[in-house]
Structure 1
Amino acid sequence: MKPSVLILWNQVEEDIYEHWRAQGPKPLPWDPERTVPDVGTVAEEMARIVAAVRLVAERVWLVNIEDDLDRIIAAVRLYRPDVVMNLIEFFHDDASLEAHVAGLYELLGVAYTGSEPFALALCQNKYRTKLLLEAAGLPTSPYVLIEREPVPRDHELEFPLIVKPALEDASGGIEEASVVHDQAGLEARVSQVLKEFKMPALVEEYVDGREIHAAILGRTPPEVLPLFEMEFDDSEFNPDEEWRPQIISYRAKWDPHSPDFYSMEGTCPAQELDPELEEYIREVAAEAFKAVGCRDYARIDMRVDEEDGEAYILEVNPNPDLSDGAAYMECATASGRSFEQTIAEIIDMAWQRVRRARAQHSAQPTVAAGLPSDHLLREWVVQKRTGHQDVLPMAGGPSVESLLREGQVQTGDAEAGGAGDVDTLGTGVERGSADADEREPDPAAAKPRAQGSDTQAKGATEAGDEPAGRPRDSGHAPEPGHEQDPPGQ
C-alpha cells in the first residue's frame, strides 16, 4: 500500500535565479573573463522532488501556499493526504514561523515529514540550542548572548570572536566582518546586529579549523551518513595571503556574483580524518540530533579546532535543504543512495508513523487524558451511570464524548433536539466522498466560517505540474484550471 502525499512549499516573490538565467551569461564584475554560472531554479528543484515522490506515492499533489494560512488548511482538508511533505521554511518572510506551520499540521491531525515544532523552534534560537547542547554534555564553543548595549567587557571570551544574529537562518547576517579581533570591533559589530536585525547577538569564540557537516537520517537509532567537509580556498582572491576567516557567509552560500561563492568547495566523504576523530564526530552528531529532538533528517555542522584537535558543534539544522547538490544530498549520495531513494526514505518514515498510529487505534483506541476538569467530569459521568464512585485512570476510561453518544448523560442541547449533523470543519466536502481529491481546494469553503475571508486558493496542482518558484525566494504558481502536464510526461 502506498501513501498519498501532499507537497507543501512557500514562495511569494519571483525567483531571482530565473531572472539571472533569463539575462544570459554575464561577466563577473570582479573578473570580466569569467561568467556567472547557471544556478538551478526553484522550479527545477521542486520538479525533481515531485518526480521522486511520485515513484513511492499513490497520489501526489503540489501546493505553493504563497504565505496563505487558509491555503494550507484548504489543501489538507480537501486532499486528505496520508503524509504532508513539509518544505515550508518560513512564513511571512519570518523563519521563526517555520515551527508554527508544523504546529498547524499537528492541530489538523495530519502526518508530515521532518522535525516537530519544538525542535524547529529551538534550533531557530541559536542561544537556546547551545544551552541545551551544553546541558547535554555536548561540545560547543564558549559563548555569550548580548541583548542590549553597552557591550560588557567582562565576557571572559578569547578573541577572535564571531558575532551572529541569534535568531537568523541560512547564514543571514554572517560575513567577513562578523569575525572580530578586539573589544572595539566587538562593540561595533554587536551594535550593528542589534540595530539592523532587531534581535540579540550571539557571540562565540571563533573556531579556526576544518568544517565538517554530519547529515543524519532519523531511523532508530539515527544513521549518520558519510561526513561532508566544506573546504575553503581564497588564494585566487587573496594574493597577499592576508588572514581571512573561513566561514560560510551569506554571499558565499547564495550569491554567484560574489568572490566568496567561489572560495569554498564541498568534499564528501571528508578526506584524511583521523578514525577516532571521525567516530567521535559521528557520536556527537547523533547525540545532538536526539538532544534537540530532531526527526527524520537533519544536518549537524561542526568545526575541528586546528590547535587542540577538539570538535565543536556550530549549529543543528533540522529539515535542511534537500535539493540535489546540497550538502545533505551529497552525504546521501556518498552512502550509496540515489536522490530518489533518499526522498523515498524520508516519506516512508512519516508513512510508517501513520501506519503504526492506525494499527494502535484499531487494536486499542486511546483516550487522551485532557484537562484535570475533563477527568473529573468523566468520573462524575460514571457515577451517574453506575451509582458507584469509581475512580478512572487519568489516561484511560471512556471519554465524555463517548458516554454522551451512548446516551448516558443528557445535555441541554440534546434535550432540545440538538443541532443535527453539522460539519463543524466547514470543508464543504462530505466525509468519505470518493471524488474529494479531484476538486480544487476552496479556502472559502474549507476554512472555519467565522473567518469570513473570500480568498481563493491557487497554487494547488496535481503532482508534477510545473512549479514556478523558490521556497526561499519567490515565484507564481499556476492558476486553478491552468495546470500543465507533469514534467517528463
Structure 2
Amino acid sequence: MPINRKPLFPCITIILGDPRLPDKSKIDDRFSTEDLEAIDRAKEALGELRDYQFTYLDNHSALLPQLIADPPDFVLNFCDTGYKNRARQELHVPAFLEMLGIPYSGARPACLGLCYDKSLVRSVAKTHGVPVPAETFVHGNDLNGAILKNFPALIKPNRGDGSVGITENSLVYDEPQAHAYINKLAMEFPNCDLLIQEFLPGDEYSVGLLGNPSSGFKILPILKVDYSRLAAHRLPPILAYASKVDSASPYWTDIQYAKAAMDEGLRQRLVGYCRLLFERLGCRDYARFDFRADVQGEVKLLEVNPNPAWCWDGKLNLMAGFAGYRYGELLEWILQAAQARYAKKQGIFSEEPP
C-alpha cells in the first residue's frame, strides 16, 4: 500500500464520541470504564507516532462551531458512536467535514448510511455474486406480517451497530419463540425494521482491509471467532450485545479470537469478496467484513463495517496483532492510507515505506 514518507498532514485532529452525553447503545446509557480505557490506550498508542501532532475533540455540543472557527488540517474520524452519540447520526460527522472542506479519514456519509442498512448491503452483495444468508425483511410498522419459514433463525434489527438488539433469545427454534422475540424488539425499538435471517452455525471469520483500491490494500490475517466456551453457559454461539458492552457476561469473557487456519482458496475467495464490496459500497482507508459458514460449510457475508472499532481490543487490532503489528502501527496505517489517498488526489508522489 503506497504511503508518503513524510505525512502530508502532520497535524491531526481526532474526533471521538462524547463521554459527557448519554449513549443509548451502552449499559446505563453512558460510557463505561472500558470505553474510557479504550480512549486512553488509543491516545497512548498515537503518542508513539513521532511524525504527527494530535489534538482531540470530543465535546459534541461545541463540535460544529469549533470546526468552523478553527478548521483542522486533517481529521482522523474515530467517532463511531455517531454525532452526539446517536448511532443513526454516525454519518453526520463526515458530512460536517465534507461541507467545511476538511480532509478526513474513513468512509464518506453515503457509505456509512448505506452500510447502516444491513438488508441493503445484503442486496448489493447478492447482486455481485457474494454468498449471503437467506433472509426476510420485516417493516417495523407491520411486524404481524412477518413470514416465518425455516428454523433455527436469527432475529435482529435491520439497522444498528454494536450488536444492539441481539441477545441470547435472538436465536429462535420455532414460531412461538420467533413471535415472542419480535414482540420484545417491537417494545424496545418501536417501528424498528427487523431481519429474520437464516442462522449460520459454522465457523465465523472477520477480514480486515487497510488502504484503497487506487493505491492497494494491506490484508490483515483473517480472524476466527471461537464460541466453544459458551456451551458451558448454555448460550447460543452468536456475538450478542453483551459481548460489546457487558464485561461481566460470558459473551464478553468467554468468546475467544484467533488467527484463522483456512485453505488458501477460501482465503483468496473471502479477500476477493471484500475487495469488491469495499469499492462498490464506497469504503475508504479501512473496513472490516464479517462472514460465517452455513450448515453445509458455505461461507456467507454477515456484515460490512466501514467504520470498524479502532479500540485496542477490537477485531481490527487483534488481526493486526496476528501480523506482528503494535497497536500504534495499526493506527498509523489508517492515517497513512487516508493521507496517501489525498496525496494521490493532489498528484503528490508517494512510495512504499523502506
Alignment match, 2:267: 278
Aligned ranges for residues 402-481 of structure 1 at < 5 Å? none
What is the aligned partner in structure 1 of residue 76 from structure 2?
A: 85
Q: What residue in structure 2 maps to residue 349 of structure 1?
A: 337
Q: Give the match's secondary structure for 2:85.
A: coil
Larger Rg: 1
> Residue 50 of structure 1 is aligned with which of 46, 53, 62?
46
The 2-side partners of 1:150 and 1:64 are apart by 38
Q: Aligned-pair distance for 1:358? A: 4.0
Once the two structures are superposed, residues 334-377 of structure 1 have per-residue CA deviations (whole angstroms, 9 ceiling, x without a partner) of 234332222222112222333344448xxxxxxxxxxxxxxxxx
Q: State the Cα distance separating 1:236 from its structure 2 match.
A: 7.0
Matches within 5 A, 1:180-191: 180-191=172-183
CA change 1:348–1:284 in 2 (3 A) is same
- Aligned with 1:229: secondary structure? strand
Provide closer, same or farther for how the CA distance between residues 154 and 173 of structure 1 changes in structure 2, counting only shifts above 3 A. closer
CA RMSD across the alignment: 2.3
Conserved 8 A contact 2:118-2:303: yes
Secondary structure of the corresponding residue to residue 111 of structure 1: coil
User: Counterparts of 1:68-467 in structure 2 under 5 Å?
Assistant: 68=61, 70-75=62-67, 77-78=69-70, 80-89=71-80, 90-147=82-139, 148-152=141-145, 154=147, 157-198=149-190, 199-220=192-213, 221-234=216-229, 237-238=232-233, 244-267=235-258, 269-271=259-261, 273-305=262-294, 307-359=295-347
SS of 2:205's equivalent in the other structure is strand
Paired amino acid for 1:280: R
Shift of residue 150, structure 1, vs aligned partner:
4.8
Are residues 63 and 92 of structure 1, via their aligned partners in 2, closer, same or farther at CA, if it must alter by over 3 Å?
Answer: closer
Given that 2:212 and 2:341 are in contact with CA atoms closer than 8 Å, whether structure 1 keeps it comes out as no
Q: What is the CA–CA distance in structure 2 between the aligned matches of 1:231 and 1:141, rounded to whole Å?
A: 20
Within the candidate set 17, 32, 35, 1:10 is matched to: 17
| Whole-Å separation in 1 of the counterparts to 2:265 and 2:341 | 35
- Give distance in 1, aligned partners of 2:194 and 2:230: 31
Letter in 1 for 2:315: A
1:61 equivalent in structure 2? 55
Query: CA shift at 1:185, angstroms?
Result: 1.7
Task: Answer yes or no: is the 8 Å Cα contact 1:63–1:75 preserved in 2.
Answer: no
Classify 1:44/1:167 alpha carbon distance in 2 versus 1 (closer, same or farther; 3 Å).
same
Partner of 1:412: none
- Pair 253,194 (structure 1): closer, same or farther in 2 beyond 3 Å: same
Residue 328 of structure 1: how far off its partner (Å): 0.3
CA apart distance, 1:193: 1.6
**Contact 1:151 1:190 (C-alpha < 8 Å) held by counterparts:** no
Q: Counterpart amino acid of 1:131?
A: S
TM-score (norm 1): 0.62
Output the amino acid matched with 2:41.
Answer: E
Matched residue SS, 1:281: helix
1:292 positional shift? 1.5
The alpha carbon displacement at 1:121 in A equals: 0.7
For residues 203 and 65 of structure 2, the distance between their equivalents in structure 1, rounded to whole angstroms, comes to: 44
| 2:42 and 2:312 in contact (8 A); partners too | no
Separation in structure 2 between the aligned mates of residue 110 and residue 126 of structure 1, nearest angstrom: 29
Aligned length, in residue pairs: 327
- 3-state SS, counterpart of residue 60 of structure 1: strand
Q: Deviations over 1:24-44 (max 9, x none)?
A: xxxxxxxxxxxxxxx871442
Tell me, in whole angstroms, the C-alpha distance in 1 between the residues paired with 2:238 and 2:125. Answer: 22
Length-normalised TM-score, structure 2: 0.85
Answer whether contact 2:38 2:311 (CA < 8 A) is retained: no
Aligned-residue offset at 1:94: 1.6
Matched-pair contact (CA < 8 Å) for 2:133–2:301: yes
Cα displacement string for residues 29-66 of structure 1 (whole angstroms, at most 9, x for unaligned residues): xxxxxxxxxx87144234224314x4232x3211112x
Secondary structure of the equivalent of 1:122? Answer: helix
Letter of the 2:278 counterpart: F
Deviation by residue 1:262-305 (Cα, 9 ceiling, x = unmatched): 221010x213x233222222222222222211111111011022
Q: Which stretches in structure 1 are left out of the alignment for 5+ residues? A: 19-38, 361-489
CA spacing shift, 1:144–1:151, aligned 2, 3 Å: same
Query: Displacement of 1:142 after TM fit?
Result: 0.8
Shift of 1:234: 3.2
Contact 2:132–2:300 under 8 Å retained in 1: yes
CA drift at 1:76:
5.6
Q: Secondary structure at the match of 2:144?
A: coil
Once the two structures are aligned, what percentage of the paired residues are identical? 24
Q: Distance in 2 between matches of 1:276 and 1:61?
A: 44
* Cα shift readout 1:436-486 (whole Å, capped 9, x = no counterpart): xxxxxxxxxxxxxxxxxxxxxxxxxxxxxxxxxxxxxxxxxxxxxxxxxxx
Structure 1 residue 17, shift from structure 2 partner: 1.3
Amino acid at match of 1:348: Q
Q: What CA distance in whole angstroms lies between the structure 2 residues aligned with 1:77 and 1:354?
A: 23
